């Protein structure tokens, strides 16, 4: 029988990894349905075992926290997520809970736009900041990019303009604009974008606003955050949810024209059915509907959980299904050597986009689904980038179908495939040092936004560097020179530049065939900048199995340098909050491989940052103390609480024990406060915590 605590840890790690792929990389690794299934399992597990439900659990947090090159900005009022309803019965249960607490209510129904949440701050009517949702408390400052969105007013209109207001909305790429953008890319011989949602998110996170300006992004406003009328007469319409839309429109902001105020279950269900029937007629993609209590005073009484309001819910459309032909099953080799089969299908339109490929995960999954090459298959896709082959339509078989067999050798290097450990469902290529596919994937990953964020270093560049023989693996990446790039056709000019007579007379030196191109020079420039990235990003970039951004941050924070991580014992590694035994073993084994150690050594010799600098101005008031923080603190995010403790010499622990020195309790604290009281551990509120940080335990006690 599966140990509940072990399964809980596994689910948390999987969900956080999928969240990072979705929000930080704009490249989901599973379908919405698969992700929702993991979250539902986690909720059910925590319901059966309440001691596992910590404030840090994905069920209690907003999933958009990312670390990019943008500045972090705190929202004046938290941006919350929404709980999901996956059936009409779920909606009925939510309505019943609302009516039980507040009586019959009018409900506002509106489309759930599949885009990127944004918070727009206007001061005295002027747009001064645009911030992504992030973790709900802190987001990314994308103001320069937001200002390029057509149709978004830079100044509010109307009579009732507040002194300060946070306006919440959704940034999206209209479907027609997305199709036009992809058509242009195809004409240029470039790969098309996957879907409107991820294209919109990537566009809004461009470092160069002029690039964002070329993407026809749009925005729809739907809610208010912090609001200060500052002497201006409040608009009375803001007392109701639908009235907020009228207020937003009067200020010149775009709002949805598809919102309706309804009463009772029957009218709600009729709206949902009508909306789903019209989903592909919308200018934007939608993946469901949002239902909100109309009366804002009732909203206040109903309140919220740590992550979502109780007065609203998101109804998710069921994944769409179509039939198509499975033409072939091929395999792909990833950066950790995992060999993944995927289906190649007759292109088919589903959930508003054309699908040709779908993952099949592993050989066991192919056998479980019972699909044959040539089958008519059921394809399911819920508007996201990862479609799913549900299974075959057995009745449509003609006898010409054939079974697929997992190859015994790596398609990239010919090495026999093997399980990493007995019982693994995944087969891997063990030739990680010399397998071209793995090397290319690892190098491309280093350039990704979640790793060292090297803009020019994508899959195409990585392939060119390896194919030309310039890089044998990632060890030599930071030793690249202009001389090296002259051997890579992708990064050189293939013909002499034609100069005008006036340029020649002016002494302009033209580019010759074989000279390093502007893109090549930009790669070298970006690599130079990547050398100063923080330690946790360097750790992520090593592609150590199981070590994602969360574990990398934990390791960097706990040890401070690559040398300290390398020298740590398995016990020391496992003791770090957010690491554990599985990751500790993986880190230890990785550094034991000589060519792995060579990567780190060569990067260090090339000037890559291998140690986080300590701010000596921060007094180490918590030296040797163990502090546990639980619940929501107004002046801190989860990450900043940990940083505040660690930077002052303390240990930011996740659980309360007899070795805990202090427990800091915020709003919606869980069972940790009760356990602290039971063990006699001192409990501090936020003010006491701030005092402790400033003066230490002795002075704080006085």
| Catalytic site positions | 112
Of 275, 278, 381, residue with least CA distance to 324:
381
Contact 447/464 with Cβ under 8 angstroms?
Answer: no
Q: Which residue has the tokens 């809970």?
A: 97
Contact 442/335 with Cβ under 8 angstroms?
Answer: yes
Residues 176 and 427: their CA atoms lie apart, in Å, by 41
Assign 3-class secondary structure to 661-693: CEEEECECCCHHHHHHHHHCCCEECHHHHHHHH
Residues 682 and 579: their CA atoms lie apart, in Å, by 27
Q: Which residue has the tokens 């280093």?
A: 446
Taking CA atoms, 295 is separated from 235, 258, 311, in Å, by 15, 19, 10
Of 522, 532, 524, 525, residue with least CA distance to 452:
532
Helix 4-23 × helix 32-48 angle, to 10°? 150
Dihedral sign (CA 4, 5, 7, 12): positive
Task: Read off the tokens for 385.
Answer: 């980038």
Of 220, 239, 77, 242, residue with least CA distance to 160:
239
Q: E strands, 58-177, where?
A: 72-74, 84-85, 106-113, 116-123, 126-132, 138-140, 164-172
| Other CB atoms within 10 A of residue 257 CB | 11
Burial of 527 (0-12, 13-18, 19+ CB in 10 A): buried
DSSP SS3 for 484:
helix
Task: Read off the tokens for 109.
Answer: 């129904």
Q: Which residue has the tokens 């809004």?
A: 204
DSSP SS3 for 170:
strand
Those residues with Cβ within 8 angstroms of residue 453's Cβ, 6 or more apart along the chain or in another chain: 68, 69, 447, 530, 533, 537
């Amino acid at each position: 029988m599966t140990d509940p605590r072990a399964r809980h840890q596994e689910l948390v790690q999987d969900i956080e990894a999928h969240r990072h792929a979705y929000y930080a990389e704009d490249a989901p690794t599973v379908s919405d349905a698969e992700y929702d299934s993991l979250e539902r399992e986690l909720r059910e597990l925590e319901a059966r075992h309440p001691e596992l439900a910590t404030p840090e659990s994905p069920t209690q947090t907003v999933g958009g926290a990312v670390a990019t090159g943008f500045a972090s900005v705190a929202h004046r009022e938290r941006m919350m997520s929404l709980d999901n309803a996956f059936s009409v019965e779920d909606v009925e249960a939510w309505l019943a809970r609302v009516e039980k607490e507040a009586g019959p209510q009018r409900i506002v129904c509106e489309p759930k736009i599949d885009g990127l949440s944004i918070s727009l701050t206007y001061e005295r009517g002027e747009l001064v900041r645009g911030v992504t949702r992030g973790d709900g408390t802190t987001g990314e400052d994308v103001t320069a990019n937001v200002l390029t969105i057509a149709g978004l007013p830079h100044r509010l209109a109307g009579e009732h303009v507040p002194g300060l207001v946070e306006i919440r909305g959704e940034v999206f790429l209209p479907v027609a604009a997305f199709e036009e953008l992809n058509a242009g890319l195809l004409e240029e011989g470039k790969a098309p974008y996957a879907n409107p949602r991820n294209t919109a998110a990537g566009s809004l996170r461009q470092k160069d606003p002029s690039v964002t300006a070329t993407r026809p992004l749009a925005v729809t406003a739907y809610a208010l955050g912090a609001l200060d009328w500052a002497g201006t007469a409040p608009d009375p319409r803001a007392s109701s949810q639908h009235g907020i839309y009228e207020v937003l429109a009067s200020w010149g902001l775009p709002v949805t024209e598809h919102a309706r105020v309804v009463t009772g279950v029957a009218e709600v269900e009729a709206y949902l059915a009508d909306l789903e029937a019209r989903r592909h007629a919308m200018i934007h993609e939608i993946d469901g509907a949002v239902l909100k209590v109309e009366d804002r005073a009732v909203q206040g009484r109903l309140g919220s959980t740590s992550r979502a309001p109780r007065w609203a819910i998101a109804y998710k459309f069921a994944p769409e299904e179509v039939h198509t032909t499975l033409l072939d099953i091929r395999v792909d080799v990833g950066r950790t050597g995992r060999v993944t089969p995927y289906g190649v299908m007759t292109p088919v339109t589903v959930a508003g986009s054309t699908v040709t490929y779908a993952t099949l995960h592993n050989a066991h999954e192919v056998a479980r689904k019972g699909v044959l090459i040539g089958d008519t298959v059921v394809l399911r896709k819920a508007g996201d980038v990862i479609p799913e082959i549900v299974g075959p339509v057995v009745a449509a078989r003609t006898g010409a179908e054939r079974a697929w067999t997992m190859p015994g050798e790596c398609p990239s290097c010919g090495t026999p495939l093997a399980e990493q450990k007995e019982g693994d469902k995944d087969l891997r290529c063990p030739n990680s040092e010399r397998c071209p596919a793995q090397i290319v994937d690892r190098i491309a990953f280093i350039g990704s936004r979640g790793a060292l964020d090297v803009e020019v270093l994508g899959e195409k560049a990585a392939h060119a560097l390896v194919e030309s023989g310039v890089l044998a693996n990632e060890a030599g990446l930071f030793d690249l020179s202009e001389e090296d790039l002259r051997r890579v056709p992708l990064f050189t000019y293939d013909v002499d530049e034609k100069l005008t007579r006036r340029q020649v007379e002016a002494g302009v030196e033209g580019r010759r065939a074989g000279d390093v191109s502007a893109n090549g020079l930009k790669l070298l420039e970006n690599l130079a900048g990547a050398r100063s990235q923080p330690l946790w990003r360097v750790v992520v970039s090593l592609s150590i199995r199981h070590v994602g951004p969360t574990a990398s941050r934990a390791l960097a924070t706990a040890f401070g340098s690559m040398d300290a991580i390398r020298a740590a014992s398995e016990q020391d590694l496992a003791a770090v909050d957010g690491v554990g035994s599985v990751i500790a073993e993986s880190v230890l084994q990785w550094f034991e491989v000589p060519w792995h150690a060579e990567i780190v050594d060569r990067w260090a010799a090339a000037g890559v940052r291998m140690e986080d600098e300590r701010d000596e101005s921060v007094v180490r008031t918590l030296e040797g103390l163990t502090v546990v923080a639980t619940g929501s603190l107004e002046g801190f995010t989860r990450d900043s609480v940990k940083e505040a403790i660690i930077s002052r010499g303390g240990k930011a622990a996740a659980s309360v024990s007899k070795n805990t020195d202090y427990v800091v309790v915020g709003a919606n604290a869980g069972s940790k406060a009760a356990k602290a009281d039971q063990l006699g551990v001192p409990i501090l509120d936020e003010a006491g915590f701030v005092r402790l940080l400033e003066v230490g335990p002795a002075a704080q006690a006085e």
